[in-house]
Structure 1
Amino acid sequence: MPVKNRFAEMQAEITEWRRDIHAHPEILFDTNRTAALVAARLQDFGCDEVVTGIGRTGVVAVIRGKSTGSGRVIGLRADMDALPIHEATGLGYASKTEGAMHACGHDGHTAMLLGAAKYLAETRNFDGTVVVIFQPAEEGGGGGKEMCDDGMMARWGIQEVYGMHNWPGQPVGSFAIRPGAFFAATDTFDITFEGKGGHAAKPHETVDTTVMAAQAVLALQTVASRNADPVDQIVVSVTSFETSSKAFNVIPQKVHLRGTVRTMSHTMRDLAETRIKEVCTGVAATFGGVVAVDYDRGYPVMVNTPEQTAFAAEVARSVSGACAEAPLVMGGEDFAFMLEERPGAYILVGNGDTAMVHHPEYDFNDEAIPAGCSWWAEIVEQRMPVA
């Protein structure tokens, strides 16, 4: 089963939707224009139910098949939000909003799921129910969690859920997936060292927070190199070092560190939090200062369930002829919250030789549209075949 001809016919139309969304990016939960556009399209397609305001600005639509005797209900999810990046593509449909850009391809994800929804509403060639999910605030806002917290899974009886992300550097329209842990948990830390400030020429009269914090930055590297099993994946990165003084001749009273932790298991996540607090407490005590550590758990590890992953890979092979094993990704993905509530799988679709995501010159490759739409549609038709 190659790419569906219907999506080749629809490609220009779907591309037009995608580029309109691209030109009007919206950040986090402020996806009001995009959500309204999505809801209007879904209404036009003749979906059986269209509901807005799930997870603040999310949109959910229901499409029932020719029969629903199987009792199966499958969720398909796309993200809608953009990033706070100034676009540098120079494209004719480039962002019209200063400081906002679809730099991760969520415009493409939304357009592809709309294309699949239109096809599924036209054909209804399945036995069961499809719930299409358009989510805000994937980029750090936890929109997936908010939709789940609004009771989305139970309200529509979703039994399985599937997601997709474009992937630069992978051939256009090809697929890659892996079972189990796939995308990392994304935690952050905020650390404040406090000592005794003073004149830089009299360091003996101070408790030097700059030295204290510098020592902590180095010591925190041992969480990965000396506390974690070498076969486990963990990243501890200090990304900001800020003192309370900008003068050349002042030892600051406080130094503030920020950073991120990426892990692929609950065990490593617990280890990282414990050791960061212990290391910083020990360093502060050694130098005679005090420390406050605020450790915030963000997105959990995104875990593909084995049965659904094998099925998703089989569907991908039916669309493109092959499905590669994807690498572990230390970036985060809040589809993880949906996979904590229901079994399912997340797949990568190739974006070709383009700039990487989150880059100001990135653009979603519209040539991936037929393959992406076909995968969505085949997930439904193969998982819920008409008898």
Structure 2
Amino acid sequence: MEVCRGVLGLEGNNIDPGLEGNNIDPSLDANNMDCDDGVQLVFNFVMGFGRSGVCLWWPFGVDGDEQKGVHGDEMVLVEEHRIDDGPVLASRQWNLELSKFLISLGYKQYKNNYSLFIKAIGDSFTAALVYVDDVLLTGNSVSTIEATKVALDSKFTIKDLGLAKYFLGIEICRTDNGTHLNQRKYILDLLHDSGLTATKPAKFPLPQYLKLSVDKGAPLADPESYRRLVGRLLYLTMTRPDISYTVQHLSQSVSSPKEPHWNAALHLLKYLKGSVNKGLFYPVQQHLKVTGFSDADWASFLVTHRSLTSYCIFLGHALVSRKIKKQTTVSRSSTESEYRSMAATTCELLWLTYLLQDFHIPVQFPVTLFCDNKAAQQIAANPCYHDHTKHLDIDCHFTRDKV
């Protein structure tokens, strides 16, 4: 893998050079990717990339007829010098320039994931995964990757980082058996900032039988500290699916956190203290079959009585996708909540099959979806359960059409 990490510097603007994100999965296909190098891009993104134009506007609050009556036939001339006068517009313009440049090198931008660029010629395969100014390159052709590095160096400035070992806070360790991802340093920094480096570890993410409520307990004197902590824990769930359920519950109270929520967050940090080295492992395997597991926690929220959708999807023996999210509507039964969770899992399975096809990975059909609710399975397979399903939304029957 080749890591490209960049600094986005705009002339005349104050841009934070540490633009890093959290929605990237550096675990590409480990079976055929033999090239592991790292480079760093230092971008000198000046104003010349922007476009200029001239716009004619009436003054605010005055239409055309009133303007003629007050100022005659004159119009106010406004010159729009650049579209990148700010961090947001600048990053968009940068992404456009980088996308155009990669496409000019023969890469194809895929619609299933617009941050993915793939160049496939014969048996040669190279993939570039982009997040703002961070790029991850992997492939089975050393010459193609080196050519990409040379082309990027001619356009920008490149610093070679060697093997991909640390990317966006994720530690990458590759062996002959596969790839291991963890966020050990991230957890240690989190414990240090919270003052819990010497705390006694906990065995579970949450205390047993704990039920958090948004209206019970004393309000926190400093809610911002709780919000910052939950935000950092959300990023940690990338490689720690074992804390996803706990973090999801903690994130429901960021608007008005109470003392019990803070104590639960500290208990989660104590659990992380005893499991610093845990992470995800992506083994080298020949048979890649997509398998989905769906589940729901019915009426788990005490105030709204909404259910929780959860699923995890495996590619062979590797976990490649998972999600825990509160459902948007109240389910009248556990069967309904499970059925809604199956519909969400089906959508994710379809998207993953499209993404795997973009990676030129053959998908074995049919894809297996596991659910522990027999009533939900029967509803998905039997379209005659009108009395049981007439109150369900149409989108929930999406699973039935895909069976």
Q: TM-score range by the shorter chain?
A: under 0.3
Name which one, 1 or 2, has greater alpha-carbon Rg.
Answer: 2
Q: If the length of structure 1 is used for normalisation, what is the TM-score?
A: 0.23
Q: Which has the higher contact order (CA 8 A, sep 6+)?
A: 1
Q: If the length of structure 2 is used for normalisation, what is the TM-score?
A: 0.22
